[in-house]
Amino acid sequence: MLTHILFKEVFHLDSINAVILAAGEGKRMKSKHPKVSHKVCGKPIIQHVIDSVHLAGLKKVVVVVGHKADEVKKCIGTDVDFVLQSEQLGTGHAVICASEYIKEGIDYTLVLTGDTPLITGETLSSFVEFHKKNKLNATILTSDFEDPTGYGRIVRNSDESVEKIVEHKDASEDEKKIKEINSGMFCFNTKDLIKALNKINNNNAQGEYYLTDVIEIMERDGLSIGAYKIENPTEIMGINDRTQLACAEKVMRHRILNNLMINGVTIMDPDSTYIEKDAFIGADTVVYPNTIIEGNTVIGEDCIIGPNSRIVDSTVHDLVEINNSVVLKSEVKKETHVGPFAYIRPESLIGSNVKIGDFVEIKKSTIGDGTKVSHLTYVGDSEVGRNVNFGCGTVTVNYNGKNKNKTIIGDNAFIGCNTNLVAPVKVGNDAYTAAGSTITREVPDGALAVARERQVNKEGWVERKGLKRK
């Protein structure tokens, strides 16, 4: 049986808060939904950030919500605290709103933006360790951008400490040449952060409280400000519009596929393959082009998946082949063959060494080991035993217009072609149904059920009706 073991490296950072800013509307998304609720590889943008925080081992996570707060909360797991920023008065104000959560004996506070899904747990851990190792009061997460237009620049002193953050519009010509930009993510000594928050004001054209003012205040007070520059600028790429969303999707998809290939999965054409972040695939499985694997899907070893298949929130055991088919919220056991053009609907359990063939639909049913459902068949709301053979065109008639009813088929039964099994009905062990039968009553063990009209031949009927073809 397939065993799903996923090892994650967890960094132990015991005395650190994480505050994630997710109150903004995101007008450039042109959406009726909050920006951070949009998905990258099947998961909300904000959830990617939270996952990275948890992977870094941070103790407490606080999400600041505002615009459509209930919708943002709904798309996030239950392992965070929420604080409401009822008016969006700037990033500094957002952190002020969360201040009650971050001053309870916690040494450090990490402030992150909720629209940066590509940030990794490893980077966050290294960021905090850099801050602690260098005994800084505040540290800014930065990177070099080839085109830094529009971003705040990091101006450093000769000793590589941070002199200031200068916004693009306020930058001199020399400062505009600086490629190192402010990501909007910071690590603070919590007590220093709280003191600085008490000093910020909104004396600016926008009437907002800026978190960058905290850095200016700390620098003025003689505190040490550092910058931790990461090599990969895509990690701090924020999502502001649909184009950037598509770019983040591409980067995340590449990460996922690359990680799978490193761990022994063959992906024939990465450009045409979509696999979400929480999916797990075992070694020596081959994924063919145009395949989609979504949700918490687990696929075993030595499988063949695709081409043109979609698997959602399902468990697929070792040595399974799924070809040109759809599997939704179901389980497929080892050495089973599915497809082509099969449709396995939710709450189905397909046994070992089973054949689910072309144009077969399985709905909320259990299919026993060794059973063959080879083609053009519908099995719904059924319990099917071991080593059953379904002839072509079989239908379990499970719906009477009002209620769904169950069909039970015993081990080693043989269901003839074009059989209608009108539920509720039971076919016993080793029983047979004759081709073309409509079965409405129980078929005992070892019996043959024949339920069809006797054939009548009317001689000369074509000629009498004038229907003879010329």
Query: 218-248: b or e for each residue (b if 16 or more CB lie within 10 Å)?
Result: bbeeebbbbbbbbeebbbbbbbeeeeebebb
Structure tokens at 259: 């990680």
How many residues are listed for the chain in this entry? 470
DSSP H stretches of helix in 85-154: 91-97, 99-102, 121-133
How buried is 205 (Cβ within 10 angstroms: 0-12 exposed, 13-18 middle, 19+ buried)? exposed
Q: Is the dihedral of CA 238, 241, 242, 247 positive or negative?
A: negative
Cβ neighbors of 40 (< 8 A, separation 6 or more) are: 48, 117, 239, 245, 248, 249, 252
Residue 121: strand, helix, or coil: helix
Closest among 193, 200, 44 to 114, alpha carbons compared: 44
Percent helix, strand, coil in the chain, to 5, is: 20, 30, 45
Long-range (24+ apart) CB contacts under 8 A made by 317-322 are 317/1, 317/2, 317/352, 318/2, 318/282
What is the Rg, in whole angstroms, of the alpha carbon atoms belonging to the chain? 31
Spatial separation of the C-alpha atoms in residues 377 and 440, rounded to whole Å: 18
Contact by Cβ (8 Å): 367, 354:
yes
**CA diameter of the chain:** 111
Contact by Cβ (8 Å): 140, 186:
yes
Question: Catalytic site residues?
Answer: 375
Task: Return phi, psi of residue 218, to 5°.
Answer: -60, -40
